[in-house]
């Protein structure tokens, strides 16, 4: 008997009909002799509707109360799912994050899981019940207040519970059949990936692939928990995320896939004095605004001016706060101006085999040039090459790179509607 | 500095606009130098919408999961209310029933409060915050599962918290200016009652007056907690529920008011053998179906048949279960048949002064006769007379009794829209 943790996103439980379908899938897993723990997101647009209500009563809702409000969403979906399972003749019990023992930091809106004490879940499983757990939420170890984990939180809940319960596998149900060599909405012949290492998945997630969130993959890697990314609309095998880069046979394909990201903006600090400590002061300022920086490029300064330009990318949502923080220190640091550009796109090529194959970057850049796309910034890691271009060039860039490395398959990938959090 | 517990029903917080208005009232109470604890129901139709969803996934949702589902309603309203208070510059923290220490029995859907341990609320008040608590819900002392208290549960939560916190007063906000001598929707010149004893309020509630639920008044009486029933749409003084019948001065008005009830049905068991134990067997059967019986009438049996008829009233919602249970034992008990009548109404006259004034019942029955209304059943207590009539005669019966005892005032009562749970 295996212990399976399954996670269903918001689109999988968006309506009563879909909840019933998910219940059937869960019961089928139970019938096959498995112990089942299910993590569920809020139904469809519930979170957005609750956020809308919050903004109607307060322009800047307090984090503690926003978390209290949003966690009502999973409470609704999990109770309905438990009812739908009962209706199929199986015992199911729903648990809030707090009841399931998901202990977090107290940073409302983006709490981190500190520990999981799944005693009540284990008890429910021992009594033959299916345990349904609210994703995305927990309880602060210090303040005992309800917290939420931020974007992708339900995936992280699932992996954390799977690790704490020593599950055999954590199945993440989504609206696609797993991970593809590129987004099938942009590259119709993108190939399905059967298996991928944690490191490659981390790079894909960090580069904008939305199928799994970064933190969830980090958690899985830390605990060696295999993740099976599957579609909740089909019975096709999905993508197994498991194993380390060290285990990848040398003969494996050099390149895993292409990721893209439209969520970043670029800030350029013009005319920074070319002296020791200037860059440090700039990025201390940005860090104090709690902005996450991605790529950084510093131009060579000319002797004539003794000044240089520094550009960096960051999530668009962090842009205004970072600009405000930098504006305040302009005189102190002595730079000449700030430019904000939110019309950029990032395309990244990821592959564990890249390490031992020189020339990948050259082929990448050549494919961009052939497509007439200007490269604005470059960043690389051991298993990744990323470039920034105009956002209007992004789709063409993804297709060009995907073609250049011959990643395409013979069939069109199937795309389903919607996605969860 | 007084400690005030305020309770707002679902219609008072039905929209973001109304929540903001309630927040202003709460802040005004805080500004006046009071410590404030607020109990809140779910927004407007939320509970019905959640129930509808439940019935879409399961014809008979499990009690545990239904409670988990419905408690999402107060979670939403209380978080929004806390945000709206923050927005006015005051600190507010929302607490679920469980967090507020509302410990209950484990009967889902109609749990009873066993104990209240308001440590977190006391802590919040000590730090100067306004505490917002979800009404209608608690946590089972035994199973640690989330429970709901059933109809009127939010009022009971408020009184129970007020008692546990040794509050000075429990204010119940509703859609009318308090308790009236009759329902102003039926009797336009019904008079506002400034003060009423717990016993009279209990009889009114038991006889169908919806302004306060029975269990809440019982709780208040047990702990001697004064309840101030007020309108959330005005600043008029409401009705104080306080003091015992023993304290009522003899010169006080003999009659308090007229209550009516459309929620009951009548079951008649025809041809019951007139022998010892027959009635006991009938009512044991009804009790085993968990039906609450109100009035009972047994006819005199004729010597010719040696049989009698027994009629009783019960909530319409309990009707089908009671009929089914009685049907099963028809042969065993040996009665001839069952009649079900859900077109009855009950009108009741309540007054602490009634004890020392003979002739009340006679005046009551005469007023019914003058209005041409047939009396089907009669029941009395020390401070109450109730009769059952056709439901179509009910409004006329209420007006006739109200007039006969000259309970009317000179002004029309103001009626606001909607009501909470």
Cα radius of gyration (chain B):
23
On whether residue B204 sits in a domain, the answer given is no
Out of A188-202, A249-263, B189-203, B280-294, which region has the weakest mean confidence (pLDDT)?
A249-263
On whether residue A329 sits in a domain, the answer given is no
pTM comes to: 0.84
What mean pLDDT is reported for chain A? Answer: 91
pLDDT band, residue A56 (cuts 50/70/90): very high
pLDDT band, residue A250 (cuts 50/70/90): low
Residue A95, pLDDT score? 98
Crossing angle, helix A198-206 and helix A214-223, to 10 degrees?
Answer: 160
CB within 8 Å: A66 and B83 = yes
**For residue B120, what are its two tokens?**
């977190």
Chain B residue with minimum CA distance to A78: B69
Mean pLDDT of A26-33: 97
Is A12's Cβ below 8 Å from some Cβ in B? no
Helix and strand totals (H; E) in chain B: 12, 20
- The answer to whether residue A364 scores a pLDDT higher than 90 is yes
- The answer to whether residue A279 scores a pLDDT higher than 90 is no
Q: Quick check: A203 and A383 in contact, CB under 8 A?
A: yes
Which of B59, B71, B53 lies closest to B108, judged by CA?
B71
CB within 8 Å: A75 and B68 = yes
On whether residue A397 sits in a domain, the answer given is no
The whole domain housing A28 covers 3-174
Residue A412, pLDDT score? 64
Instruction: Please list every residue in chain B whose beta carbon sits closer than 8 Å to the beta carbon of residue A84.
Output: 57-58
Place of tokens 């027994």: B310
Distance CA A109, CA A130 (A): 28
Residue B292, pLDDT score? 84
How do strand A130-134 and strand A35-40 relate by DSSP bridges? parallel
CB within 8 Å: B75 and A75 = yes
On whether residue B37 sits in a domain, the answer given is yes
- The answer to whether residue A297 scores a pLDDT higher than 50 is yes
What mean pLDDT is reported for chain B? Answer: 91
- The answer to whether residue B328 scores a pLDDT higher than 60 is yes
Q: Which residues pair with B236 in a beta bridge?
A: none
Is B84's Cβ below 8 Å from some Cβ in A? yes
- The answer to whether residue A83 scores a pLDDT higher than 70 is yes
Which of B356, B381, B41, B383 lies closest to B201, judged by CA?
B383
B71-to-B38, B40, B145 alpha-carbon distances in Å: 16, 12, 12
Cα radius of gyration (chain A):
23
Out of A100-104, A222-226, A282-286, A341-345, which region has the weakest mean confidence (pLDDT)?
A282-286
Residue A78, pLDDT score? 98
How do strand B307-315 and strand B264-273 relate by DSSP bridges? antiparallel
Which of A337, A317, A143 lies closest to B123, judged by CA?
A143
Distance CA B284, CA B290 (A): 10
Mean pLDDT of B37-50: 96
Is B124's Cβ below 8 Å from some Cβ in A? no
Chain B residue with minimum CA distance to A15: B53
pLDDT band, residue A365 (cuts 50/70/90): very high
- The answer to whether residue A401 scores a pLDDT higher than 90 is yes
On whether residue A182 sits in a domain, the answer given is no
Based on the structure, what is the number of domains in chain B? 1
- Strand order of the β-sheet with A146-148 is A113-116, A102-104, A137-140, A146-148
Residue B412: DSSP 8-state:
P
CA–CA min distance A139, chain B (Å): 12
- The answer to whether residue B419 scores a pLDDT higher than 50 is no
pLDDT band, residue B239 (cuts 50/70/90): very high
CB within 8 Å: B71 and A75 = yes
pLDDT band, residue A244 (cuts 50/70/90): confident
Q: Does residue B102 sit in helix, strand or coil?
A: strand
Is A88's Cβ below 8 Å from some Cβ in B? no
Model ipTM value: 0.82
Mean pLDDT of A95-124: 96
Mean pLDDT of A152-160: 94
Which of A9, A20, A288 lies closest to A174, judged by CA?
A9
Those of residues 305-364 in A touching chain B at CB distance below 8 A are none
pLDDT band, residue B50 (cuts 50/70/90): very high
Instruction: Please list every residue in chain A whose beta carbon sits closer than 8 Å to the beta carbon of residue B59.
Output: 87
Residue A233, pLDDT score? 86
Percent of chain B with pLDDT over 70: 95
Mean pLDDT of B115-129: 97
Mean pLDDT of B311-327: 93
On whether residue A119 sits in a domain, the answer given is yes
CA–CA min distance B256, chain A (Å): 41
Is A142's Cβ below 8 Å from some Cβ in B? no
Residue A35 belongs to a domain with what CATH number? 3.40.1160.10
CA–CA min distance B74, chain A (Å): 9
On whether residue B152 sits in a domain, the answer given is yes
Which residue has better confidence, B76 or B252?
B76
Which of B204, B185, B212, B239 lies closest to B348, judged by CA?
B204
pLDDT band, residue A356 (cuts 50/70/90): confident
Chain A residue with minimum CA distance to B47: A76
Is A42's Cβ below 8 Å from some Cβ in B? no
Phi, psi angles (nearest 5°) of residue A260: -140, 160
Out of A87-101, A257-271, B312-326, B353-367, which region has the weakest mean confidence (pLDDT)?
B353-367
On whether residue A327 sits in a domain, the answer given is no
CB within 8 Å: A75 and B72 = yes
Residue A151, pLDDT score? 75
Question: Which helix (H) or strand (E) segment is A118 a member of?
Answer: none
CB within 8 Å: A68 and B54 = no
Place of tokens 């119940």: B172
pLDDT band, residue B330 (cuts 50/70/90): very high
Residue B320: DSSP 8-state:
H
Those of residues 143-202 in A touching chain B at CB distance below 8 A are 144
Q: A174 Cβ partners below 8 Å, 6+ apart?
A: A9, A12, A211, A229, A230, A231, A232, A419, A420
């Amino acid at each position: 008997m295996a212990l399976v943790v399954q996670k269903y996103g918001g689109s999988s439980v968006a309506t009563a009909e879909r909840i019933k379908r998910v219940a059937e899938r869960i019961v089928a897993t139970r019938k096959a002799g498995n112990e089942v723990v299910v993590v569920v997101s809020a139904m469809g647009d519930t979170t957005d509707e609750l956020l809308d209500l919050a903004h109607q009563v307060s322009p800047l809702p307090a984090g503690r109360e926003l978390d209290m409000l949003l966690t009502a969403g999973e409470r609704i979906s999990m109770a309905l799912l438990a009812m739908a399972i009962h209706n199929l003749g199986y015992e199911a019990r729903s648990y809030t994050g707090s009841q399931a023992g998901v202990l977090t930091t107290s940073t409302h809106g983006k709490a981190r899981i500190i520990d999981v004490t799944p005693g009540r879940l284990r008890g429910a499983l021992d009594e033959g019940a299916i345990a349904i757990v609210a994703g995305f939420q927990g309880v602060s170890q210090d303040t005992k207040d309800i917290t939420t984990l931020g974007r992708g939180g339900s995936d992280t809940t699932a992996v954390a519970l799977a690790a704490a319960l020593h599950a055999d596998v954590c199945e993440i149900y989504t609206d696609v059949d797993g991970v593809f060599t590129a987004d099938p909405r942009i590259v119709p012949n993108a190939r399905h990936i059967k298996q991928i290492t944690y490191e490659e998945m981390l790079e894909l997630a960090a580069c904008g692939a939305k199928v799994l969130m970064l933190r969830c993959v980090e958690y899985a890697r830390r605990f060696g928990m295999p993740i099976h990314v599957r579609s909740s609309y089909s019975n096709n095998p999905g993508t197994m995320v498991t194993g380390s880069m060290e285990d990848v046979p040398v003969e494996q394909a050099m390149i895993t896939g292409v990721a893209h990201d439209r969520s970043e903006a670029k800030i350029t600090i013009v005319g920074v004095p070319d002296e020791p400590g200037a860059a440090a002061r700039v990025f201390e300022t940005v860090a104090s605004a709690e902005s996450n920086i991605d790529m950084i490029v510093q131009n060579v300064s000319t002797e004539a001016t003794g000044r240089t330009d520094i550009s960096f990318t960051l999530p668009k949502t962090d842009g205004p706060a970072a600009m405000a923080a930098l504006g305040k220190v302009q005189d102190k640091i002595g730079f000449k101006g700030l430019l904000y550009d939110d019309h950029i796109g990032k395309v990244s090529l990821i592959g564990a085999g890249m390490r031992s194959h020189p020339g990948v970057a050259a082929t990448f850049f050549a494919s961009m040039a052939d497509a007439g796309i200007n490269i604005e910034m470059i960043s690389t890691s051991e298993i990744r090459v990323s470039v920034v271009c105009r956002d209007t060039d992004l789709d063409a860039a993804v297709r060009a790179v995907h073609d250049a490395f011959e990643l395409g398959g013979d069939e069109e990938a199937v795309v389903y509607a919607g996605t969860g959090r």
